[in-house]
Structure 1
Amino acid sequence: MPVNMEMFLSPVWLSLKIALLSGMLAFVFGVLAARLVHKRPFRGRTLLETVFMLPLVLPPTVIGFLLLLAFGRRSWIGRLAEWLWDQPVVFSWGAGVIAATVVAFPLVYQSAKTGFQTIDPDLEGAARSMGAGERQVLFHVTLPLAGPALATAFVLGFARALGEFGATIMIAGNIPGRTQTVPTAIYTAVDSGDYALAWCWTGAIVAFSFLLLLAGNFRKNPPAGNSAP
């Protein structure tokens, strides 16, 4: 049976749009959180880090249920958002962005934190001793040195957002042409027995995720021939 291209492309474009936006949000929040935690110790840091990492171990349906309570039409956040944008948050593609951002955040945070931890504090101290301000140290020393880890953090966050299913289906639903992403579309196709379409979506998301991770690995571990002697 030939595959309907319009039916095939709709979830693909929506998944890419959601993954790109949520990947950027998770990257910004994850890097800021990692920088905050790494910069100096404070009371309650372990508890805060545990909260940050919870979405990594909780079942996605639990995350989706909690997000549904937080952004549903009965919550003050949901009512405020509906008043501002004249539509509810739940069962919209924006809800998919929220779900994907939350589940991608721990991976970004952990990768960024690891990158900051590998930086020699003496290098930042040397820059300060030469008269550099904190902003100059951050943008000219810290971020460049942590660059490979931060690039990996973005790739992991984007890839995780692209494959999000459980939390998304809880808060955004599975509405074709509106909130149906590739993972939820695959579920629907398999459930209805349309294995040809399911294989097409599966192949697309596997290939895209593979290329993303491959690019991230090449950046982190360049070929030996390209390294300096």
Structure 2
Amino acid sequence: MTTSGSGGGAAVVTGAASGIGASISARLSATGRRVAGLDLQESDTDLSLVADVSDRGAVLNALGRVQDELGPVSVLVTVAGYYEMLPAQEITPEKWRRMLEVHLGGTCNACAAVLPGMLEAGGGTIITVSSELALGGGAEDAHYAAAKGAILGFTKSLAVEVADRGVRVNCVAPGPTDTPLLEPTSPWRDKAFLETLPLRRLVRTDEVAEAVLFLVDEGGFFCGQVLSPNAGAVI
């Protein structure tokens, strides 16, 4: 079964240059979609766009090129972000602001860029990417978890706002995933932590991509929901 999010339009993936974003881009491309990647670095996509997602003007300009070069956007996946661990008392106002600007602001900016076209077309699919930490929290993750938690509230509210106009909005909230964001010394790679997970391993980027594709192509009955591939970290 396919929905209004599949076929006949371009897909945009923010954070497409590596990790989860690169896997999602490749998976969407394998379905025959034309994919535009928006990142601080060049991405292996049909149209590679370099911009800071926290800069609304830059995002609007970049996604304007997608419309011109690939056609109307029918799928948006907002992956762009970064990870940082700090004790709560060491999180400066600047670090709070930057974390929110990139994660929540970047998500909002990308949505603002594609929604007019989706609403005019009467259809589209948006998948935001949050984190399992937004659901369960984590020590020394306060600003990251808060920013990812804000994405959950944004997703649910936007889903209610645009569902009756043919645009579905849902969220994927991965658990610790095997990407370059997790350094070799990361506590999430520690054997003792992995043994606390029912699956005893990190999530793979291709598994997150499959969750996204399900919501895009098969999950036409999902609206404002959170799908969390997390190896059992949160059940």
TM-score above 0.5, yes or no: no
Between structure 1 and structure 2, the one with the greater Rg is 1
Identify which of structures 1 and 2 has the higher relative contact order when contacts are C-alpha pairs closer than 8 Å and 6+ apart.
1
Which protein is richer in helix relative to its size?
1
Scaled by the length of structure 2, what TM-score is found?
A: 0.28
Scaled by the length of structure 1, what TM-score is found?
A: 0.29
